[in-house]
Structure 1
């Protein structure tokens, strides 16, 4: 509920939820937990709306905005990084694991298997910046396994399958916030304050 704090008015930067499925799911979960009134109050707190989930991190790290829950970054700070990434202690947060597969018509199945095995290797998973998909490898930053937090990596995918519900909520968020404005995530100049 901190994002409703009047001291943060105009100092929050958020990704348009109706422009990004993962962010849309976060707003769905907020609505489910706190109700529409929470979302209306959040919008009334005048956050800066942007396109893409990298933009909020960059803007916060540059000191232009104070907070966001629609971005991502490494659990451990990089040298000269000005921001701190914090997971909620009680509230739900979004996680999902990227899936991989080898198509039956793949021309080089052995190479594909080698690649997927490397992606799941202790060597690769041990250098991951966030939760590794393997539960036998510790998360960086002193965080416990994803299983010990208020998140569910499979729920986002299950929610996305409910297309009618997702598209109806996307339309509701568009009506609440307005059409996404500004450059697309691939066209953003990260040196200019949004």
Structure 2
């Protein structure tokens, strides 16, 4: 077989050099005008969204399609670390069929931008975003704030934890359910923050509590909520700032808890760019941001009642996760460190289990 035949495999359509190709597209239409353009384009938006339960974005689909009739939001939820490799495959083969990507793998976005794969687009309300949550040229920007809180079932636990040391109390033995830190980078980051502050001895004592290790950050909430489960407490999940009964939440004031802006980007070769623009403008709109029940990525939208602004909370740094994710060599060493202590992640993908 000659070299010509060999070379007809994967060929990237993207230029990994400097890419001096002009400024971003700046949105100056109303959202209703973007809606009309999306309808004319075909009325479809295809999104890949990070997550670990297939139904996690059903609310977004329902809200978006209700707001924009005759627009179909095809949204696929999967673990971000699996989505990104499949996006790379699309980019490498020139077969892009996804319009928008909203993932936890923050380090992928600068790389994709360097490869010329992302649309530089400044949606409406772009400058209302926290400056550190947005790329200067609109290659990516945060669309929602995620974070881990202390969560417990009030029907099973008389008093919930307030600081990380509380998880070592005798009353929580055999009641903790935690996501494998070696299976999820955001949980890995949480453990990194804890051990940097409390030392390795804290982790040894945590293991003596006999926690149940699970895959996915949605799984602990499911187990805690079940009346027939002994699992009662976790710190590797989030339910927003208003917990559904009988759950309760708190945030540490001495230890550091994890928050980050989940990033979104439109692929430059997206087959439905107008639909993707409509979705991103909706995600950053005041109506949507105010409905999330959490901190907003927009600096002009106040925190929910009873909570301080995210930037004013000393026990979290929403920009820290980006730096953690960017150092892939250290993250991999840390992942293997915890894998040695608790074993490889066991069980089906959280998208396929029955919990």
TM-score when normalising by structure 2 = 0.50
Distance 2:197 2:235 in 1: 15
Shift of 1:71: 0.9
The alignment yields a C-alpha RMSD, in angstroms, of 1.6
Residue-pair matches, total: 188
- Unaligned stretches of 5+ residues in structure 1: none
- The match for 1:113 is 277
Q: For the residues of structure 2 that align with 1:89 and 1:188, how far apart are their CA atoms?
A: 35
Q: Distance in 2 between matches of 1:160 and 1:130?
A: 23
Residue 189, structure 1, aligned to residue 346, structure 2: no
CA distance in 1, matches of 2:289, 2:341: 40
2 CA distance for matches of 1:48 and 1:106? Answer: 42
Looking at structure 2, the residues matched to 138 and 38 of structure 1 have their Cα atoms a distance apart, in angstroms, of 36
Give the alignment of 1:1-194 within 5 angstroms. 1-63=165-227, 64=229, 65-78=231-244, 81-140=245-304, 142-149=306-313, 150-190=315-355
What's the CA shift for 1:106? Answer: 3.4
Deviation at 1:24, TM superposition (A): 0.6
Q: Secondary structure at the match of 2:194?
A: helix
Residues 90/136 of structure 1: CA separation in 2 closer, same or farther (3 Å cut)? farther
User: Equivalents in 2 of 1:175, 1:141: separation in Å?
Assistant: 43
C-alpha contact 1:13 1:50 (8 A) present in aligned 2: yes
Paired with 2:183 and 2:219, the residues of 1 have a C-alpha distance of: 13
Counterparts of 1:165 and 1:77 in 2: how far apart (Å)? Answer: 34
TM-score w.r.t. length of structure 1: 0.89
1:129 is displaced (CA, Å) by: 2.6
User: Which protein is bigger by CA-based radius of gyration?
Assistant: 2
Rounded to whole Å, the distance in 1 between the matches of 2:279 and 2:352 is: 31
- In 2, Cα distance between the equivalents of 1:162 and 1:37? 25
What are the ranges of 5 or more consecutive residues in structure 2 without an aligned counterpart?
1-164
Structure whose residues are more often helix by fraction? 1
